[in-house]
Structure 1
């Protein structure tokens, strides 16, 4: 019996290995050819990223400034409300104090009139 070789399978394997080697060598040569532009692209991407980070930081700073401004306005508004409430309380206390003083003065005047009447009556009886 004559031994025949199956060339189809070995041919396919050799062709696949050659194609793979060709792809690898093409990739390496393309990588070497694009080396100068790769650095330029990386530099450009780095600059774009830095500009993006700078804009983001500016936006965050603007938001922080706006929050601080709103907080300051709220604090000023609260202080004004507190000052108005304090002024109102002081006005009420002053009104109460003057009313008490008036009542005491009226009572003192009434007692003085009563004492005067008593003294007049005693003077008439004597």
Structure 2
């Protein structure tokens, strides 16, 4: 005879309810016992997330500064190139003006020489 006890349905139901209540009570006790460590872990997670966000913001700020520095350097280079081009154009124009003035001076000198020769010839003929 194996089971001498006669378990009725009501007995089985009440023992299952008791076991369920014991499990619930054990869960609540474990939860209450773990509450301080849970709060500490949660605070640690919040601190880690804040530090992570701070590092991300710092990286973003560094990237923005680097972009601004590169943009400023590019603008300076472009300004230097434009200034060099402007100086070259001005030098070319000055050389062109100088050449034109020399040509005009040479032409005026040739005309003056021609007029002097013409006047000498007229003076000899008269």
Task: Tell me if both proteins adopt one fold, taking TM over 0.5 as the criterion.
Answer: yes
What's the CA shift for 1:26? 3.2
Secondary structure of the residue that 2:122 maps to in structure 1? helix
Name 2:41's counterpart in structure 1.
Answer: 41
Which structure 1 segments of 5+ residues have no match?
A: 1-6
TM-score, L = length of structure 2: 0.80
Name 1:102's counterpart in structure 2.
Answer: 102
CA RMSD of aligned residues (A): 2.3
* 1:21-78, Cα deviation, whole Å (9 max, x unpaired): 4444333232222112121111111111111111111111111121111112111111
What's the CA shift for 1:9? 8.1
Which structure 2 segments of 5+ residues have no match?
A: 1-6
TM-score, L = length of structure 1: 0.80
CA distance in 1, matches of 2:15, 2:118: 142
Matched, 1:28 2:9: no
